[in-house]
Structure 1
Amino acid sequence: MLDKTTSILADLIAFQTVSADSNLEMIDYIAGHLDACGASVQQFRDPSGRKANLFATLGPQCDGGIVLSGHTDVVPVSDQQWATDPFKMVARDGRLYGRGCCDMKGFIAATLAMAPTFAQAVRDRPLHFAFTYDEEVGCIGAGHLARSLGEMGLRPGVAIIGEPTGMRIIEGHKGCYEYTTRFQGLEGHGSAPDQGVNAVEYAARYVALLLELKDQLRAMAPPGSRFDPPWTTVNVGAMSGGTVHNVIAPMAQVRWEMRPVQRSDADFVKGRLHRYCRDELLPRMQAVFPDAAIETEVVGEVDGLVPTLENEARAILAELTGRNAADVVPFGTEAGIFQSLGMDVVICGPGSIEQAHKADEYVSAAQLGQCLAMLGKLAAKLGQ
């Protein structure tokens, strides 16, 4: 089974599904594998028609099924120094290299390799496959899939998200809220600063408040928080604006994110920023240029995965892996979206998050073997 998984993984890596590009060829490839196993396969295109989610079912069309889920998109390889072609899998020293090997095409390959076994095993409880687009840029596809499942009236009971966890069981993670804030000022000559509105300067003031809030959030960590770090974090990822040194910059933008431990922290940050723009920055900008503006685009607001006392997914994975402990992680996934639909959710998959997004990304053959063993036990459980 490992050889079959490796072969499928090589095919998946060859699909250059960077988030900016289409994933349709990979979705069609997956659909072909699952259709051949007798699965009921549906594709849901995004508004552009260039991307799609896939949802497939083995067994009866009823509530209470188990979902195996992964995202098809990968992060870019530009400006990274790879030892080999990132879109051609290379096997070396027990490791499989290529963009998306661990994040998270390795898990997808394992589920496809096991699909014929699942098809033979499934009885009364359905097994679903959910593969999404644009997880890396705000979990956009998963949000779309959630709406699609709602329209279908289908309510699975359990979801296993195969993000790289070293096959540890993860029952909680922070949310991921991403934004782009744009500043519209008034261009002018650098020698007459009072006659223009410098968008870069106002963006800098905005960033200064973000950094103040970042420090304040450290003292707001909930008692007993299991996260590392235990508080809500803020990160300013990119800031741009202006052209040359002697021109007042008419436009600027700030790309930033926060990873809330609790939704109240996100409300606190957004409230402070809104009041600051409304009461201080905008009045000063519009006193010079009435059309000055500050606008924030919500790239994505994905709630975290909240640990719960009762969690069937956690119980199933403990039985399948032999691991009784469940951890939490600081990075975000689509798990919170599935939880919002009423499912019990855990994250468990091959590979390490430390390899994700980096040059020479890899997953070990041993980790894929552990994943296949877990999926094999799941098939046996479905057949009981």
Structure 2
Amino acid sequence: MADLIACPTVSSESNLEMMAYLADRLTSLGARTELFTDPSGHKANLFATIGPDRPGGIVLSGHSDVVPAVAEDWASDPFEMVERDGRLYGRGACDMKGFIAAALAVAPDYAAAELARPVHFAFTYDEEVGCLGAQALVRELARREHRPAMAIIGEPTLMHLVDGHKGCCEYTTRFTGTAGHGSAPERGVNAAEYAARYVARLLELRGALQARANADSPFDPPWSTINVGRIEAGVAHNVIAAHAQVDWETRPVRPEDGPFVSETMRAYAEEVLLPAMRAVSPEAAIETETVGEVAGLIPMPENEARKLVAELTGANGAEVVAFGTEAGLFQSIGMSAVVCGPGSIEQAHRPDEYVSLDQLGACLGMLERLGSRLAAA
């Protein structure tokens, strides 16, 4: 875990050093390893298998990237693991290098056993900025004749079972107007004003999404949400803003709510805002970039991954959470999936992020019992 934390795999940087380290460790155990680089060549997914070359088996999945860390806000170097009072501190300690380290720790036991079903290790890039690596990985898995049957995604859940979470669709909408003197606003196209109207329409949609919520939704809140994360526009008080940008997201409870929001906003931009902008300047424009559209994890009446992990941990039930994971992507290609990992999401993305030794011990116990189960299958 110290080695993993020492790799500063912030999403804006390369993860190749960490992926090479993981690949070397697994290859030395006899695992069949594959590295898949992204188009830039600076990021990679790792997919490795221990056990027989046959359909089925279980994936242990974790993302390699972490959010930024401002050293001044930490009690110690965020990229050097420190142990204090039964806790291991460092950026990514719970989100989610603790789980990846636990998976590596039990890998020698898997390699030494006569597994009847394979164990797959799936470590991805850019989860924090749209699950980009996992989207590429599941496309690769979907093309294969031998596809895993289920997945455990080791996000921090305090080792509780999670079988449902909302999706996450992130967008950046850019407005191009025409600059001019603030004393004659009617002579330009104020991108800031049209961005404000766009945001107002987004906020109106919140009510529509609440009305669409299922009465028996297990989520809190039970409806799909919209959040405006950032608005940027203009250069000075007395200048008509020529450019504006809105960063926003929606977290769908139901799969159809994502397209409902994106299509409604597309129509509003093209049919209401753009005609008004181009009546003043034909060059005016509105463009929306899709940062990421990640499927939610839909709670299912039958879920073999949930059943297996419940047996391994002794859990009596499963819950849903507000944060997103890569689990829904595995589910989208026909695999059963459950989220269960060490540490608390309350520690993720914060200064002095940590995972407790007790939580890591519980995770190791689950993974060791999984190995025994697969060897006896």
TM-score range, shorter chain: over 0.9
Q: RMSD in angstroms over aligned alpha carbons?
A: 1.1
Offset at residue 216 of structure 1 (A): 3.1
Q: What amino acid is aligned across from residue 168 of structure 1 in structure 2?
A: H
2: CA distance, partners of 1:123 / 1:379:
8
1:91 is paired with a residue whose SS is strand
Query: Which residue of 1 is the match for residue 271 of structure 2?
Result: 279
1:262 is paired with a residue whose SS is coil
Question: Which of these residues, 262, 266, 277, is aligned with residue 254 of structure 2?
Answer: 262
1: CA distance, partners of 2:343 / 2:72:
20
Query: Which residue of 1 is the match for residue 40 of structure 2?
Result: 48
Q: TM-score, normalised by structure 2?
A: 0.98
Offset at residue 207 of structure 1 (A): 0.6
Asked if 2 retains the 8 angstrom alpha-carbon contact of 1:198 and 1:250, the reply is yes
2:212 is paired with a residue whose SS is coil
Point out where structure 2 has 5 or more consecutive residues left out of the alignment.
Answer: none
Question: Which of these residues, 193, 218, 222, is aligned with residue 214 of structure 2?
Answer: 222
Describe the superposition over 1:34-55 as per-residue Cα deviations: whole angstroms up to 9, x where unpaired.
Answer: 0111100100000000000000
Query: Which residue of 1 is the match for residue 325 of structure 2?
Result: 333
1:189 is paired with a residue whose SS is coil
Describe the superposition over 1:230-272 as per-residue Cα deviations: whole angstroms up to 9, x where unpaired.
Answer: 1111111111111111111111110000110002222222232
Question: Which of these residues, 141, 165, 169, is aligned with residue 149 of structure 1?
Answer: 141
Point out where structure 1 has 5 or more consecutive residues left out of the alignment.
Answer: 1-8
Query: Which residue of 2 is the match for residue 349 of structure 1?
Result: 341
Offset at residue 195 of structure 1 (A): 1.1
Query: Which residue of 2 is the match for residue 95 of structure 1?
Result: 87
Offset at residue 305 of structure 1 (A): 0.6
Query: Which residue of 2 is the match for residue 3 of structure 1?
Result: none
Asked if 1 retains the 8 angstrom alpha-carbon contact of 2:177 and 2:284, the reply is yes
Compare 238-247 and 365-374 and name the one that shifted more: 238-247
Does residue 1:317 correspond to 2:279, yes or no?
no
2:346 is paired with a residue whose SS is coil
Q: Percent identity?
A: 64
Question: Which of these residues, 282, 286, 289, is aligned with residue 281 of structure 2?
Answer: 289
| Pairs aligned (count) | 376
Query: Which residue of 1 is the match for residue 104 of structure 2?
Result: 112
1: CA distance, partners of 2:110 / 2:82:
28
Question: Which of these residues, 155, 159, 173, is aligned with residue 163 of structure 1?
Answer: 155
Query: Which residue of 2 is the match for residue 383 of structure 1?
Result: 375
Query: Which residue of 2 is the match for residue 81 of structure 1?
Result: 73
Does residue 1:364 correspond to 2:356, yes or no?
yes
2: CA distance, partners of 1:267 / 1:142:
21
Describe the superposition over 1:111-135 as per-residue Cα deviations: whole angstroms up to 9, x where unpaired.
Answer: 0011101112242211100000000
Asked if 2 retains the 8 angstrom alpha-carbon contact of 1:169 and 1:347, the reply is yes
Query: Which residue of 1 is the match for residue 298 of structure 2?
Result: 306
Asked if 2 retains the 8 angstrom alpha-carbon contact of 1:58 and 1:122, the reply is no
Question: Which of these residues, 25, 28, 51, is aligned with residue 59 of structure 1?
Answer: 51
Q: 1:260 to 1:80 in 2, by over 3 A?
A: farther
Query: Which residue of 1 is the match for residue 25 of structure 2?
Result: 33
Asked if 1 retains the 8 angstrom alpha-carbon contact of 2:150 and 2:305, the reply is yes
Offset at residue 147 of structure 1 (A): 1.8
Q: 1:189 to 1:79 in 2, by over 3 A?
A: farther
Describe the superposition over 1:118-166 as per-residue Cα deviations: whole angstroms up to 9, x where unpaired.
Answer: 1122422111000000000000000111122234433110100000000
1:247 is paired with a residue whose SS is coil
Asked if 2 retains the 8 angstrom alpha-carbon contact of 1:352 and 1:363, the reply is yes
Compare 211-220 and 235-244 and name the one that shifted more: 211-220
1:219 is paired with a residue whose SS is helix
2: CA distance, partners of 1:10 / 1:20:
21
Q: What amino acid is aligned across from residue 179 of structure 1 in structure 2?
A: Y
Asked if 1 retains the 8 angstrom alpha-carbon contact of 2:53 and 2:118, the reply is yes
